[in-house]
Amino acid sequence: MTNSNPWAAFSGPNLGYVMDMYDLYLTSPEEVDAELVALFEQYGAPVDTTAQAAVATTGAANTGDIQKVLAAVQLADAIRQHGHLAADIYPLHNQNLDTTRIETSAYNLTDADLREVPASVLLNNVPANVNNGLDAINYLKEIYTNKIAYEFNQVVGKDEREWIQSKIESGALNAPLSNDDKKAVLNMLNKVEGFEQFLHKTFVGVKRFSIEGVDALVVLIEEIIKGSEASGVKNIQIGMAHRGRLNVLTHNVHKPYKMMLADFAHVPSELFVPEDGSLKVTKGWSNDAKYHLGATYKAPNGTTIGLAYNPSHLEVVSPVVTGQTRAAQDDTSKAGAPVQDASKALAILVHGDAAFAGQGVVTETMNYSRTKGFGTGGSVHIIANNMIGFTTERFDSRSTVYSSDPAKGYEVPVIHVNADEPEAVVQVARFAVEYREKFGKDILVDLIGYRRYGHNEMDEPMITNPAMYNLVHKHDTVRALYGKQLAAEGVVTEAEVEQLQKDIKAELQADLDFIKEQGAGKHSELTMPDAVANGYELVETGVEKARLEKMNEELLTFPEDFHVFKKLNKILNRRRDPFQGKGKIDWGHAETLAFGTILQDGNPIRITGQDAQRGTFSQRHLVLHDEQNGNEYTPLHGISGSNASFTAINSPLSEASIVGYEYGYNLQNEDALTIWEAQYGDFANMAQMMFDNFVSATRSKWGVRSGLVLSLPHSAEGQGSEHTSARLERFLQLSAENNWTVVMLSSAANYFHLLRQQAAILGTDEVRPLVMMSPKSLLRNQIVAADVEELTSGKFQTIIEHPTTGKNVDAVENIVLASGKMAIDLAEKIGEGEGFDHLHLVRVEQLYPFPEKEIADVFAKFPNAKTIKWAQEEPKNMGSWFLADPYLRELATDAQEVKYIGRPALSSPAEGDADAYKEAQAIVIEDSLSK
């Protein structure tokens, strides 16, 4: 790892010997000493023309022992690579340190041997107080085994690695703090501790998930914020779980003490929102625990600092925050691809130690951090390391030395720092900001402390972790330790330290008295907004034919030097036919036309997924590839009149993190039509926590609006039990309070109108997520395909009455309702309607909110209907039957029978054999259409 030239230590015969060994290494490396092989692999040939003068002056007498010099070089590199194992980074001093790899005896070296080695062989920039190899080794040990420890050997880039090493070994990273900085740090630690202790004594037994033990987290975040602001960052997004959250909200995001105390005292906190408008907080009508809430602060200098709302799931907020950060970096206001400026926004992601190692969404988030579509120019990761998870200690929670170890697989530098050393914490924060600014990559700070109480304030940790907590109970707080240190240095007096404690206690008590007086007898009015309760009105979404035809031609006009794959070109050219009266517009074509009109109307579009550009079923083709050179071309970038950006991105093979990312992107850019498409619907299983904790409930819990679109290919089609079901029933089970719209369409025209309808409500109070069970084989079905005229007028239809049934009103005895492919299977069997006068087919396009009025109007048209049938492809315990059943029974008359038509309840969503599927589906079709 050393950057200096080890060959400079050799001259004369010794250099000749090394050169002979190198020649042998080139032909027979197995015959060369392993230590020399390692050096040859790292440094190449033992000739450096730029160092001839150094070689000439070293002298054979002092540096002639080749093995000793090689051993010294290896020792220096070992300190750089393994010094962290011996570092003083554990406040409780309860971990075994490993010095075996950095002891001179392990390399058969003595102090005398090291004195004979020039320091310049081991260090690039030799400090004035380092005179020889022994001094150099001791200097390295002091740097690499102190309160800060480093792991950066995993970094592949040579320049990057050398820059990190130079910062460490030059002393730049350890630049001392000014007295004013030290006083500011002490003041912050005093506030952090005083806040926690006041809550602990005033609201006894109330859960708050105290920060105590890693109090310096607030100092670390504050220094990152300051450094980032200085470098021009204007938007800082913080994601973290509940441990220490209240303190971060208060001291980093500037939620006033009055508001925080009001939350504890059951007084409406909205009474105490700053009048200057600097703080934005939202609440839903069901609300949430205080340690899940977030806020956004607008600093006087214009910087936005936000703490994302977060449920109890410890790590799921990280992709949400990175999505918000990317949206803050993207300029989506112009046609073409969005323009990213990574210097505009930063994500600070705070993790727990057990969760960082244990939760897969962590590595998913790191995996996309350097991809074109999801990168943010680097996040600053912080592990608030309590050395315990719930009651599980480190040796049971992971199989690695550090909880941070997963980060090393992504070339992320890791800096471990003792949380009881606040000045070291500040130094690390400054380094992290500088690194991110220079290299645009993630960096991780492992803030190693402890947890002063149990998992929450009502837990007794001595029951399960007595060894650790015997140490904790005897351990002074970091505020007390740092106060003593600064008093000893003469920076402050002991009296000043004591006065700081008195001041914060008095301030908090005064604020508590004030909010109790002002809030006496007052209660929060938490009601559902009218815009949510009333739903949104369907608007006219048709587009003039001339506008569509012009756009269609532009979409099919490619640059002269762009060579579309010939087979695909033929397929795309058929998209001219519908405008010439020769065919219909299929699903993918309707989607592209809708996208184009939405861009012209001024809404940016971002669609991602594992096959988003082409489409899983090769139906979309939003991004084309030159068949000769692989260059990409996006036709939607070439349409005239576009007023917003468009991007289609093939995502990494992750679901949870990507859904979270897109949800976050839409939170930040409310005007963007943001779509995540699963490769197959069942892939959504891996993102269930995102649907449960964020997409379905954020409006109710936190008052946070989202217009995210989920496109989930769904239907069995005889392809086996997997890749069939998007688990429609789960989304319907989560449906309540107009929280989202759930659809399963059977019309390309209706899809066109639905996309335009969703775009129309973006950024309004009526906005809600859209969950779509999207088609597979129906993508090219001619019943589903649209005539041009169906796009030029009309609006989204919650139900479609099938046009070849119900013509003889008096003859209709059965009304059959079905959605998606089931509806089209029935329509294909019905054909032109001959022989089916006894029934009327209703294609239910929107499942939630359930279209009661529209269905009631249909029922009213057929006075002789005796049976209401609900047909579905899914088993009885899945799909939409359980949702539709009570509505249908409410709408049916006493004389009408409501019947379920479909497969029985099953544990698997579909038959695993194509023939078995066809047989079962034929029975469903027959039963649905029979008299």
Tell me whether residue 446 is in a domain: yes
First to last CA, the chain: 82
Over 60: is that where the pLDDT of 82 sits? yes
Confidence of residue 13 (pLDDT cuts 50, 70, 90): low
pLDDT digits (tens, 9 = 90+) for 468-494: 999 999 999 999 999 999 999 999 999
Residue given tokens 């909205």 in the structure block: 270
Where residue 429 sits, what CATH number does that domain have?
3.40.50.970
* Token digits of residue 8: 């400079």
State the average pLDDT over residues 757-767: 97
Asked if 573 and 556 touch (Cβ cutoff 8 Å), the reply is: yes
pLDDT digits (tens, 9 = 90+) for 606-645: 999 999 999 999 999 999 999 999 999 999 999 999 999 9
Task: State the burial class of residue 204 (Cβ atoms within 10 Å of its Cβ: 0-12, 13-18, 19+).
Answer: exposed
Tell me whether residue 866 is in a domain: yes
pLDDT digits (tens, 9 = 90+) for 411-448: 999 999 999 999 999 999 999 999 999 999 999 999 99
The beta-strand segments (E) located in 228-365 are: 235-239, 279-280, 295-298, 304-307, 330-331, 339-340, 345-352
State the average pLDDT over residues 354-364: 94
Q: Torsion over CA of 793, 844, 801 and 817, rounded to 10 degrees? A: 180
Domain that holds residue 100: 66-146
Helix (H) or strand (E) holding 313, with range, is none
Tell me whether residue 404 is in a domain: yes
What is the phi-psi region of residue 335: left when phi exceeds 0, alpha when psi lies from -120 to 50, beta otherwise? Answer: beta
The Cα–Cα gap between 360 and 579 comes to 49
Residue 408's pLDDT is 97
Residue 8's pLDDT is 67
Residue 658's pLDDT is 97
Closest Cα to residue 41, out of 22, 17, 68, 13? 22
Tell me whether residue 290 is in a domain: no
Exposure string of 420-435, with b = 16+ CB inside 10 Å and e = fewer, is bbbbbbbbbbbbbbbb
Mean confidence (pLDDT) of the chain: 93
Closest Cα to residue 756, out of 531, 543, 547, 537? 543
Closest Cα to residue 820, out of 731, 725, 697, 723? 725
Confidence of residue 56 (pLDDT cuts 50, 70, 90): very low
Residue 19's pLDDT is 76
Residue 631's pLDDT is 96
Q: Tell me: do 187 and 111 sit in the same domain.
A: no
State the average pLDDT over residues 737-751: 98
Asked if 253 and 306 touch (Cβ cutoff 8 Å), the reply is: yes
Confidence of residue 459 (pLDDT cuts 50, 70, 90): confident
Q: Rg of the Cα trace of the chain?
A: 33
Would the pTM of this model clear 0.85, i.e. be above it? Answer: yes
Residue 28's pLDDT is 85
Q: Are strands 339-340 and 330-331 parallel, antiparallel or unpaired?
A: antiparallel
Domain stops at, among 792, 811, 837: 792
pLDDT digits (tens, 9 = 90+) for 506-533: 999 999 999 999 998 888 888 999 999 9
Residue 63's pLDDT is 40
Q: Tell me: do 815 and 737 sit in the same domain.
A: no
Tell me whether residue 687 is in a domain: yes
Q: Tell me: do 747 and 896 sit in the same domain.
A: no
Domain stops at, among 792, 810, 845: 792
The beta-strand segments (E) located in 362-475 are: 380-385, 388-389, 392-393, 414-418, 443-448
**Inter-axis angle of helices 216-230 and 179-202, nearest 10:** 130
State the average pLDDT over residues 92-118: 94
Tell me whether residue 516 is in a domain: no
Please name the amino acid found at residue 352: G
| Alpha helices by DSSP H, 125-240 | 133-144, 158-169, 179-202, 216-230
Residue 391's pLDDT is 85
Confidence of residue 14 (pLDDT cuts 50, 70, 90): low
Q: Tell me: do 28 and 132 sit in the same domain.
A: no
Over 80: is that where the pLDDT of 761 sits? yes
Residue 9's pLDDT is 65
> Which residues are CB-contacts of 269 (< 8 A; sequence separation ≥ 6)?
258, 259, 260, 262, 263, 281, 524
Domain stops at, among 760, 792, 824: 792
Residue 153's pLDDT is 95
Q: Tell me: do 634 and 704 sit in the same domain.
A: yes
Q: Are strands 304-307 and 235-239 parallel, antiparallel or unpaired?
A: parallel
Confidence of residue 59 (pLDDT cuts 50, 70, 90): very low
Asked if 804 and 832 touch (Cβ cutoff 8 Å), the reply is: yes
Q: Tell me: do 673 and 747 sit in the same domain.
A: yes
Residue given tokens 């070293």 in the structure block: 58
Asked if 19 and 7 touch (Cβ cutoff 8 Å), the reply is: no
Q: Are strands 345-352 and 380-385 parallel, antiparallel or unpaired?
A: parallel
Over 90: is that where the pLDDT of 917 sits? yes
> Which residues are CB-contacts of 806 (< 8 A; sequence separation ≥ 6)?
812, 839, 840, 841, 861, 862
Tell me whether residue 291 is in a domain: no
Q: Are strands 388-389 and 330-331 parallel, antiparallel or unpaired?
A: unpaired
Closest Cα to residue 800, out of 862, 751, 727, 741? 751
Q: Are strands 380-385 and 443-448 parallel, antiparallel or unpaired?
A: parallel
Asked if 268 and 524 touch (Cβ cutoff 8 Å), the reply is: yes
Tell me whether residue 658 is in a domain: yes
Asked if 412 and 442 touch (Cβ cutoff 8 Å), the reply is: yes
Quote the number of domains for the chain.
5
The Cα–Cα gap between 420 and 89 comes to 9
Share of the chain above pLDDT 70, in %: 97
Share of the chain above pLDDT 90, in %: 87
Q: Tell me: do 776 and 839 sit in the same domain.
A: no
Q: Tell me: do 439 and 367 sit in the same domain.
A: yes
pLDDT digits (tens, 9 = 90+) for 218-276: 999 999 999 999 999 999 999 999 999 999 999 999 999 999 999 999 999 999 999 99
Residue 12's pLDDT is 60
Residue 48's pLDDT is 45
Where residue 886 sits, what CATH number does that domain have?
3.40.50.11610
Cβ neighbour number for residue 522 with a 10 Å cutoff: 12
Residue given tokens 């202790």 in the structure block: 197
The total number of residues written for the chain in this structure: 931
Classified as helix, coil or strand, 837 is coil
Closest Cα to residue 574, out of 588, 563, 560, 562? 588
Asked if 625 and 565 touch (Cβ cutoff 8 Å), the reply is: yes
Output 897 or 14, whichever has higher pLDDT.
Answer: 897
* Token digits of residue 98: 């490993």
The Cα–Cα gap between 459 and 266 comes to 23
Q: Tell me: do 609 and 677 sit in the same domain.
A: yes
Residue given tokens 């698997």 in the structure block: 908
Q: Tell me: do 867 and 729 sit in the same domain.
A: no
The Cα–Cα gap between 403 and 385 comes to 8
Over 60: is that where the pLDDT of 62 sits? no
Asked if 333 and 644 touch (Cβ cutoff 8 Å), the reply is: yes
State the average pLDDT over residues 596-604: 98
One-character DSSP codes across 706-724? ---EEEEE---TTS-SSSS
